[in-house]
Structure formats: C-alpha cells, structure tokens
Amino acid sequence: MNAIGKGVIAGCVSIAAALSLCACGSSANNSESSTVSFQTWNLKNDTYTPYFTKLISEFEKENPGVKVKWVDQPAENYDSKLSTDAAAGQLPDIVNVNEQQAYNLAKSGALLNLSKEAAGMAKDYLPQVWDGSKFSGNGIDEGVYGFPWYLNIDVAYLNKDVFANCGLDINKPPKTYNDLFDQANTVNEKCGGKSYMIAVPYVFPSQFEEYGVNFLSKDRSKFTFNSSKGVEYIQHYADLYKKGAIPKDGMNANIINAEKLYFQGNIAYMLDSTSSVAAFKANAPQVYKQLDVAPLATNKKNTLNPMLMAVNSQTKNKKMALKLANFLTNKKNQVEFSKKSNTYPSAAGAMDDPFFKSIDESTIEGKVLRVAKEEIDNGTVANFPPEISDTDGVNYLSPELTQAIQGEKGVKEALDKAVAALNDRLK
C-alpha cells in the first residue's frame, strides 16, 4: 500500500502516448468471461493476503462459476507498469490507482466512466468523495473513474510546550490560514529564533485551494494560481520568512524535512498523516508526550486523498468487474481494511462503525481518530492533473516559490513563470 500525504506524488508516467501507439491491442470483445481480475499495489504480504483471500472466497461463493484472479504489483515502477499494460491492452479488469494515475488512464480512454456505467452505486460512497473525484477537461468525458476506496488523512499536530511558551493557547489552534499566519507572527515575537509556528511553507496545490486560490480554471484547461489571491497566499510566507518566522532549513518543503524539524521539539504546528503518531512515539518520545492534535487550518474544506479501484474500459466482463470493484470497496470490506491499514473508509456510513465510534480521547491516538472523522465530514477531493504532480511539475513550481519566499524574486513574477511553464505542459 502506498500511503499518500499532503505531499506531491512524483513519477507519474504519460500513459496517453503509450496508448496512442497500441489502441488496437485491446483484448476487449462482446463475450463475457468467467474470470475477473483485480490488481493491488504492494499489498500481497502477511498483513493483507489473508484479508484478500477471504474476500475472493466470499465473492466466488456469492457468484457461482466466477473465478477471481488477484494480481499484486510492487511499489517500484508501478506507474510504468500501468502504462505498459494499458498500451498492450493487458490491464487487469480492476486496478488499484491513486487520483493521478486514474487521471492519466481516464484521459487515454483506458477506464470506464462510472458516472455512466455505475451511477446507481454512487450512493454506496460518501458524496463528498464520489463527487469530488470527478474528472473533466483535457479531453476527458466528465465523470468518476474509480470506486473510492481508502482515505489517507492528514491532521495538525500541535506541540503543547511551544504553544504555552510562545504566547498561544493550545485550546485555540488555528482554524483558518489567517489564524495560522497570525499565530506564526505571535510565536516569532515571543520566541523568535528559538521556536517557530511552522517548519515549512505549505505550498502544495491542495493548500492553494484550501486558502481560496483557484489553482485551475473551471474547465481545467489551464493553471490560474498566479491570480491576486495566489500572490496574496505566497506573500504571507515571504513576509514570515523575511521576519525569521520560518526556519531557513524549512525551505526544503517536504514531509521528511518537516518531520525532522518537528522532532527537534521547537515547532508548534505541523501537518502529517494520522499514521505518523507511531513515528513520533518511536523517534521523538519527548515530543510525543507534548502532542495534541487538531483539524488542519483551512479557509474552505479539508483535502481528502482517496485511493481508487478503477475498472478497465476493455474488460471482457464489464458487469462482473463492476460488481467486484463495488464489492471490494463496500462498507463492510472498507471497515475491515481500515482496521489493518491505519487508513479511513470512504464508503457511506462506514465511519459509524463501532471501531471508529469507540474513541478514547484520553490518548493522542483517540484524538487523532476524532479529528480525522471531522476532516472527512468537512472534506472534499482536490484532484489535479498529473502535469503538476509529477517530478517535472514539481520542478517547475517549487524553485519558483522558493525564490519568491526567500525574496530573490517577486511573488507575482515567480507565479507567472510557474504558471506559464505548467500551462505549456497541458497543451
């Protein structure tokens, strides 16, 4: 399983080019096959093999004559494997993908549009996840292209000592980005040079959206984050950096660097995965003792990151493939998967299961669970074209923002340059 945090997913491969070479390689026909296959992503191990083996047995029993084939691919080069199989017409009937991988496949016509093929199943999933997962623009027929599966949730981890020592109230964590910036200034005034509100600037696409910036045009045909609102957002970080309110080491804005700084015990607020509590306990026990947790600051809705089970548009057994994908991601099976994986279900009603409602808020783990539920209730999916999420996209965006925040160039100039480069990639 590849857990996805707020960070950028790198390494997506262009499936469109490969498919254009081999569109005639599809094995699709009008006959129905008695075998249906599904592919997972690095999940065949001691933790998950018994889980999937049980599901396969249940599905075959409920559907006499049907045989289910489980394929698992390693995490390494998974994007390339999807590209190769799609080009050769050899994708399994169902594939486990993230939003960026699904977007590439959908753009190339390799996935079924579930809004058309399985509209009646939408009710089985949280509406904010189903509706938020719709793709459109860039030649894609508008719709949902994967059954929502598990969710990776980020929360705000708070250091109670830093809050107390630097003029903040732990019972009043930042709710909006304006709160976050105001509190960053307070920490700098009280503890400048010793402690900081944030370890790194939060400049991923989803965070622009959470601030209120339209990162893409409505038809998703061009990037638009160089607007006055976008300039306003990045200017906040430039102002903080100029005052010394962001550590110089924090300009390498990735989650590994952020955790490293947070483990040192002088950062008040950091976003990280709900599963990171164990890392705090193991790697920074003194910080773990001072942990509190809150929903992430946002001016709009929290961002949800779903994994999907998508259906191959060339499947030989469309009816059974849709049925199996829906079965793998139904409420009961999502709850059981979440228990094993420290993730959260996207199926409607799944968070009402006793496993999630029995919250012991005397522990940080229990508080994390409560906050995750709040964010899911207030969340939406912010899916972006792979052109911004792959390695090249990051390389266009990150250096420009870094230079702007460090005062080496104007914020508007930096955003204009990043937008121009990324829009060229969309053409």
Cβ neighbourhood burial of 423 (10 Å; 0-12, 13-18, 19+): middle
Which residue reads 């026909």 in tokens?
29
Mean of per-residue pLDDT scores for the chain: 89
Residue with the two structure tokens 């809705």: 301
pLDDT at 227: 98
Whether the pLDDT of residue 9 is over 70: the answer is no
Whether the Cβ atoms of residue 157 and residue 290 lie closer than 8 Å to each other? no
Q: How confident is the model at residue 395 (pLDDT cuts 50, 70, 90)?
A: low
| pTM score above 0.75 | yes
Domain boundaries 152-301+380-424, corresponding CATH code: 3.40.190.10
The two beta strands, 134-137 and 154-159, are unpaired
Give residue 10's pLDDT band: very low, low, confident or very high (50, 70, 90).
very low
Tell me, what's the pLDDT at 97? 96
Mean pLDDT within 401-409: 95
3-class secondary structure, 9: coil
Are 334 and 340 in contact by the 8 Å Cβ rule? The answer is no
Distance of alpha carbon 165 from alpha carbon 124, whole angstroms: 47
pLDDT given at position 89:
94
Q: What is the pLDDT of residue 23?
A: 36
Per-residue pLDDT band at 33 (split at 50, 70, 90): low
* pLDDT for the residue numbered 386: 67
DSSP output for 22-36: HGGG----SSPPSEE
Q: Please determine, for residue 16, whether its predicted confidence score (pLDDT) is greater than 60.
A: no
The answer, yes or no, to whether residue 370 has pLDDT greater than 70, is: yes
Phi-psi region of 197 (alpha: psi -120 to 50; beta: other; left: phi over 0): alpha
Amino acid at 46: D
Q: If you average pLDDT over residues 348-368, what whole number do you get?
A: 90
DSSP label at 350? G
Contact 155, 270 (CB under 8 A): no
Contact 162, 194 (CB under 8 A): no
Share of the chain above pLDDT 70, in %: 89
In this predicted model, what pLDDT tens digit does every residue of 249-307 receive, in sequence order? 888 756 677 788 899 999 999 999 998 888 889 989 999 999 999 999 999 999 998 99
| Cβ-proximal residues to 184 (8 Å cutoff; 6+ apart), any chain | 196, 197, 198, 240, 245, 246
Percent of the chain with pLDDT over 90: 72
Q: Please give the Cα distance from 206 to 148 (Å, whole number).
A: 19
Give the model confidence (pLDDT) of 122-172 as tens digits. 999 999 999 999 998 878 999 999 999 999 899 999 999 999 999 999 999
* pLDDT at res. 120: 98
At 394 the pLDDT is: 65
Long-range contacts of 57-63 (CB under 8 A, 24+ apart): 59/324, 59/327, 63/320, 63/323
What pLDDT is recorded for position 389?
Answer: 62
Tell me, what's the pLDDT at 391? 56
How does residue 393 score in pLDDT terms, banded at 50, 70 and 90?
low
Higher pLDDT, 342 or 84: 84
**Residue 13 reports pLDDT greater than 80:** no
133-167 residues labelled b (16+ CB within 10 A) or e (exposed): bbbebbebeebbbbbbbbbbbbbbbbbebbbebbe
pLDDT of 3 strictly over 60? no
Per CATH, the number for 33-150+303-374 is: 3.40.190.10
- pLDDT digits over 199-233, tens only? 999 998 999 999 999 999 988 889 999 999 999 99
Contact by Cβ (8 Å): 294, 156: yes
Tell me the three state secondary structure of residue 199.
coil
pLDDT surpasses 50 at 11:
no
Return all residues near 134 (Cβ < 8 A) that are at least 6 apart. Answer: 115, 142, 143, 144
Residues forming CATH 3.40.190.10 domain(s) in the chain: 33-150+303-374, 152-301+380-424
Which DSSP helix (H) or strand (E) runs through 131?
A: helix 127-132
